[in-house]
Amino acid sequence: MEQREIKRALISVYHKDGIDKIAKRLVELGAELLSTGGTYDYIQSLGLPVRAVEEVTGYPSILGGRVKTLHPKVFGGILHRRELNSDTEQIEEYQIPAIDLVIVDLYPFEKYVASNSPHEEIVEKIDIGGISLIRAAAKNYKDVLIVPSMNHYPALQDILSKGASTTIEERRKFAAYAFETSSGYDTAIFSYFNREEGIESFRESRSGSKRLRYGENPHQGALFYGEEDSLPEQIWGKEISYNNLLDIEAAIELIGDFERTTVAVLKHNNACGCASRESVSEAWDAALACDPVSAFGGIIISNREIDRAAAEGMNKIFFEVVIAPSYTDDALTILKEKKNRIILINRRDLRSSDKFRSLLGGVLVQDRDTAVEEASEHKVATHTAPDNKQMSDLTFANKLVKHSKSNAIVLAKGETLLASGIGQTSRVDALKQAITKAESFGFSLEGAVMASDAFFPFPDCVEIADNAGIKAVIQPGGSVRDQESTDYCNNHNISMVFTGVRHFKH
């Protein structure tokens, strides 16, 4: 078991919550307490005996508190290998007190970064002594127990409730926690400095984890790593699944591009319904009409508060998740009629974060696609320009095709999705899929518009669209054969605009 008795503990923490019970228990067990600065003052205020680190080292805290514990008499006491006679001899020679327990809670660096504090203030919140104490104690886990953050106070209290000794298994476990803490802390600091420097090195750290019911399929395990506020706030329903999370992110990304009141329905990361209207209720009715079959079991998202009228309409079908910035009380009462329905409040803005995925034993990292091409940015490529109504529809359709799996085609009219062709190996197949789907739900494509996520290499797509009744097209342009598509449109009175921005989504 390799038991080690806690005879002396060094406590240096930022957050004092919970340290009172630990300090009192250590004193009850006969341990001597060493401490620094504010922690020393706090323990003294509890009426407990505590010795200042400055008394041990013979040096005061200097440089405005930057140097307090960085001293051989502190680190020698932590790194002293009890089984080595040579270490013990030196400890005795230099009168270094052995330290058996180190409790640290680091300066909240990430909190200050998130609050947009001045750079000088953020730099001062880079913990030097604390992180050094953590690493030293973790390295010597065979003899020393390290508690690296207040998150681990409850586990320490469990150990102390049984007595003043620790096992090698306990010390090794806490050492692993310590290196998790130190590596995450260093990653946060690097990420902050790398905003300006742009060093090509991938570093990410997520300290919280949530075990999901399973992955994409029941035979696959899955975890979500991230803090609680990484996810939209859940106010009702069953546990969120892996596939739910994929759809939730796709929905949040999509709805963020729309300024008008808009409701979208997503299935497998793609919109199967979407409409912009004057009210949420009207937008919901139009979005559902796009494809009521696919909407079954899907995810609904709105960029406006969901009211009673909208909730009553939504409640008529089965869906997994609803997301909105807020809900009226009446709407929540209705939506909560299904106990497993997941109700989320969305306050996330994903536009500033990178996207990354693992593959082939490595990691792909890219900027999130935040480009949104408004009507004023479209370049008319044909003799005939779109009228105002067509331009609104083209802009609407282009936002949707951006968030559809490539190869993708979107057909829209009246700021309503009529149908889309998604995930096809050819753009012609994507268009044919969209036309067939629109016709199957009884939509007329006369006067509709078409959006493509990439250029047309041949004029075949605009010809097929023309034969279906479509009279306005939006695409990135950039093909060496752009002129062939443009010529076809000019010869058949079709307007076409170029955005200059491709939106592949693989």
Per-residue pLDDT of 131-177, as tens digits, reads 999 999 999 999 999 999 999 999 999 999 999 999 999 999 999 99
SS3 459: coil
Q: What is the mean pLDDT of residues 432-442?
A: 96
Active site residue 506: no
Angle at which helices 153-160 and 19-28 cross, to 10°: 20
Structure token digits, residue 277: 């209207």
pTM above 0.75, yes or no: yes
CATH superfamily of 4-197: Methylglyoxal synthase-like domain (3.40.50.1380)
Q: How much is the pLDDT for 1?
A: 52
Query: If pLDDT is split at 50, 70 and 90, which confidence band does 476 have?
Result: very high
- 24 catalytic? Reply is no
Residue 469 has pLDDT above 80, yes or no: yes
Length of the chain: 506
Q: Which of 125, 268, 432, 492 is catalytic?
A: 268
State residue 155's pLDDT score.
94
The one catalytic residue in 139, 173, 210, 338 is 139
- Cα dist from 19 to 2, 71, 149, 162, 304, whole Å: 27, 24, 11, 18, 44
Q: How far apart are CA 173 and CA 88, in angstroms?
A: 26
According to DSSP, the residues that pair with 410 across neighbouring strands are: 420, 451
Q: Find where tokens 């009744």 sit.
A: 469
Span(s) in the chain for CATH 3.40.50.1380? 4-197
CATH 3.40.140.20 placement within the chain: 233-348, 377-498
Amino acid at 61: S
- In angstroms, the CA 326 to CA 445 distance is 35
CATH fold group of domain 233-348: Cytidine Deaminase; domain 2 (3.40.140)
Instruction: Supply 397's token pair.
Output: 């359709």
The mean of the pLDDT values for the chain is 93
In three-state secondary structure terms, 49 is coil
- For 394-403, what is the mean pLDDT? 97
Residue 373 has pLDDT above 80, yes or no: yes
Q: Summarize the confidence of residues 50-75 as an average pLDDT.
A: 85
Which tens digits make up the pLDDT trace of 215-261? 999 999 999 988 777 789 999 999 999 999 999 999 999 999 999 99
State yes or no: pLDDT of 126 exceeds 90.
no
Q: The domain 377-498 is classified under which CATH number: 3.30.420.40, 3.30.1520.10, 3.40.640.10, 3.40.140.20? A: 3.40.140.20
pLDDT at 226: 81
Radius of gyration of the chain (CA): 31
With 80 as the cut, is the pLDDT of residue 352 above it? no
The label of the residue with tokens 């999901």 reads 212
Q: How far, CA to CA in Å, does 160 sit from each of 10, 101, 165?
A: 15, 11, 8
pLDDT of res. 351: 66
Q: What is the DSSP letter of 499?
A: -
What average pLDDT does range 321-331 have in this prediction? 98
User: In b/e form, how buried is each residue of 279-307, taking b as 16+ CB within 10 angstroms?
Assistant: ebbbbbbbbbbbbeebbeebbbbbbbebb
Q: How confident is the model at residue 350, as a pLDDT?
A: 72
Sequence-distant (6+) residues with CB within 8 A of 472 are 386, 390, 393, 394, 449, 450, 494, 495, 496, 497
Q: Which pLDDT band holds residue 56 (cuts at 50, 70, 90)? A: confident
Q: For residues 185 and 100, what is the distance between their CA atoms, to the nearest angstrom?
A: 24
